[in-house]
Amino acid sequence: MNRIDAAFARLQAEGRTALIPFITVGDPDIDTSVDIIRKLAEAGADMIELGVPYSDPLADGPVIQRASERALVHRITILDCMQVAEDARKAGADLPFILFTYYNPVLQLGLESFFSLIANKGISGLIIPDLPIEEDEEVRGLAEAANIHLIPLVAPTSHDRVVRIAAKARGFVYCVSSLGVTGVRSDFHAGIDEFLRSVRDAANVPIAVGFGISSREQVERMAKQADGVIVGSAIVRRIEESLPLLNDPATKEEGLNRIRDYVATLKV
Amino acid sequence: MSQVPDQHGRFGKFGGRYVPETLMNALIELEEAYKHYSTDPEFIAEVRQLLKQYSGRPTSLYYADRLTKQLGGAKIYLKREDLNHTGAHKINNTIGQGVLAKRMGKTKIIAETGAGQHGVASATVAALLGMECKVFMGEEDTKRQQLNVFRMKLLGAEVVPVLSGTRTLKDACNETLRYWVSHVDDTYYILGSVTGPHPYPMIVRDFQRIIGDETREQIVAAEGRLPDYIVAAVGGGSNAMGIFYPFVGDESVRLLGVEAAGRGVDTLEHAATMTKGKHGVFQGSLSYVLQDEFGQVQPAHSISAGLDYPGIGPEHSYLKDSGRAEYVPITDAEALEALQLLSRTEGIIPALESAHAVAHTTKLAPTLGKDKVIVISLSGRGDKDVESIMHYLGGNGIESH
């Protein structure tokens, strides 16, 4: 059984909502990413999205763009990101990992090569934000064969596409809470409740909400309608703010704990 | 060659629609609106009327007698897109898309720009049609092209300097797409080249093919036959696609795209996407891309802000891989040289972009007989570049004759 399915089954039995943090791998460096993943697990994360840094992150706002730039200074590759998953698992982070990557890094490895390299790295899901259903047939087939869930995004502008997207979804459906790129915001799309209901009606898998969620209050609101809540930019920003602490061995633990303590406040 | 793109927006394997889900319905809506209006006689008449009375089309096909004699080979004609209103071919597309936006009921226009020509052309059309306009421009380019920044503001547009990434055209495109994702309900994105997700490469080509359609008629009137070569600069590739397209079926006409080799294709500072790039997905479509082995897009370099782009339109990739068109690199230095040559022999100061096409012609023409005919797409005029050319040539170091 895919770990994502197992996690949602357990949470559902407990009547709880999944907390799904996102980090950009390699920000500020590979070893620290492994440490952060461990701390996120400690803070109560139920699964983790591992973002592959990319030169042209179209779907991302300034916070994650900056994290990508920091990681790319060290030439972090998609292979490094897979390795981080494996290392984090060995370090005791026993939760599902989801690789979040733009399509081109996958394409450059070659699709078959990508799926053979990703096997046995402890990665259970894959999100490719610039691969809409019209373009994903080959990836979908290979992902199914590899028992990796290809998790699709739906947006408030998806309208009639929701049914088609949800029908193909594996793992969960990633619902984009608002128009725009990733990043903290105070308001969600006006029709968010209706939108989430439409996804819920169409999906046979759990639904999770992301984009713009940064506070416990927002998590609580979303938890009423969704099975999972994704928090990205708000965590990446905490990492950015903690860089001076993380970069100094004497204060690294303090920096990691700050990130952990913040994420713990989001756990409902 | 078969009808391209197909219903999936594919030119052979190239093209497609690799964008965040939030934009998918907007692109589908655009495709449907375009399908409808592109066959609507009233829409076509309005666009034609504006091209004629507002932009001054048709542009002339000018026989460059002194340049021809100087190079001592093939006859050289210049397709004078520089004579368009706003000084470049970009207005052909912005008029078309501007009228389309209006028909679609949109009130706001956004656009990306590199050299500023597409930004100026978009701001111009926004003023003409009474729409709001925001232009995204890499901060680096706002410095290189200050005059165009001011021009856009004068036309009532807001210029948004882009501070992400390399702060040039590629990042301006990213930022425009990001803005569009957030404002997709009431905003129309006028994409300026034959790049991006379907249907843009098709729409921009169709609005630019007037360059080739006119050229065909004019060269037949002048020479009684089709040209042997068509030479055009390619960044994203809109002027090249526009002049190539009506000739794609004529195997006797060789199509040459000239890309920016910057400081040389063997350095790290060039924009020679076809010479040095590989197939990849970038800004919404599959095409040639300058990238590293892990798919990170590499920064491009060119003296010309309009060619300073690590991607290229998917239909060009299709023409390249099918062998129908060839793509050659020209360095900054060669382009500067050609710019001066054309200025002195013909009294025409070309845009730095177009100077690349002139530069390749200076190599090609002398190797051909006097019975051969070359048409250069002179995509824009050099006024916008005069200040930076002065800088590159070392201030007043240029000799007067």
pLDDT digits (tens, 9 = 90+) for B63-98: 999 999 999 999 999 999 999 999 999 999 999 999
User: What ipTM, to 2 d.p.?
Assistant: 0.94
pLDDT band at residue B396 under the 50/70/90 scheme: low
Cβ distance B22 to A161 less than 8 Å, yes or no, reads: no
State residue B323's pLDDT score: 98
d(CA B178, nearest CA chain A) in Å: 6
Contacts of residue A117 in chain B, CB cutoff 8 Å?
none
Contact B314, B287 (CB under 8 A): yes
Amino acid at B318: Y
Q: How many CB atoms lie within 10 A of CB A237?
A: 19
Q: How many CB atoms lie within 10 A of CB A224?
A: 10
Close Cβ partners of B131 (under 8 Å, ≥ 6 residues apart): B98, B101, B102, B106, B107, B108, B109, B125
Question: What averages of pLDDT result for each successive group of 10 residues across chain A (268 residues)?
Answer: 97 97 98 98 98 95 95 97 98 97 98 96 97 97 97 95 97 92 77 94 97 93 96 97 97 98 96
- Does residue B397 carry a pLDDT above 60? no
The pTM of the full predicted model, rounded to 2 decimals, is 0.96
Cβ distance A130 to B297 less than 8 Å, yes or no, reads: no
Q: Identify from B22, B189, B279, B282 which residue to disrupt to test chain A contact, counting A C-beta atoms within 10 A and taking the largest count.
A: B22
- Higher pLDDT among residues B122 and B305, named by residue: B122
Q: What is the number of CB-based contacts under 8 A between chain A and chain B?
A: 118
State residue B2's pLDDT score: 55
For chain B, give the percent of residues with pLDDT over 90: 90
**CA–CA dist B181, A129 (Å, integer):** 13
Cβ distance B24 to A72 less than 8 Å, yes or no, reads: no
**CA–CA dist B373, B73 (Å, integer):** 9
State residue B75's pLDDT score: 98
Contacts of residue B284 in chain A, CB cutoff 8 Å?
130
Contact A203, A168 (CB under 8 A): no
Q: Would you please indicate which residues of B are annotated as catalytic (active-site) residues?
A: 90, 112, 379
**CA–CA dist B195, B189 (Å, integer):** 13
d(CA B207, nearest CA chain A) in Å: 26
What letter does residue B291 receive in the DSSP assignment? B
Cβ distance A161 to B17 less than 8 Å, yes or no, reads: no
d(CA A58, nearest CA chain B) in Å: 6
State residue B395's pLDDT score: 62
Query: Which run of H or E residues covers position B137?
Result: strand B132-138
Cβ distance A59 to B25 less than 8 Å, yes or no, reads: no
pLDDT band at residue B317 under the 50/70/90 scheme: very high
**CA–CA dist B21, A153 (Å, integer):** 6
Q: How many helices (H) and strands (E) does chain B have?
A: 16, 14
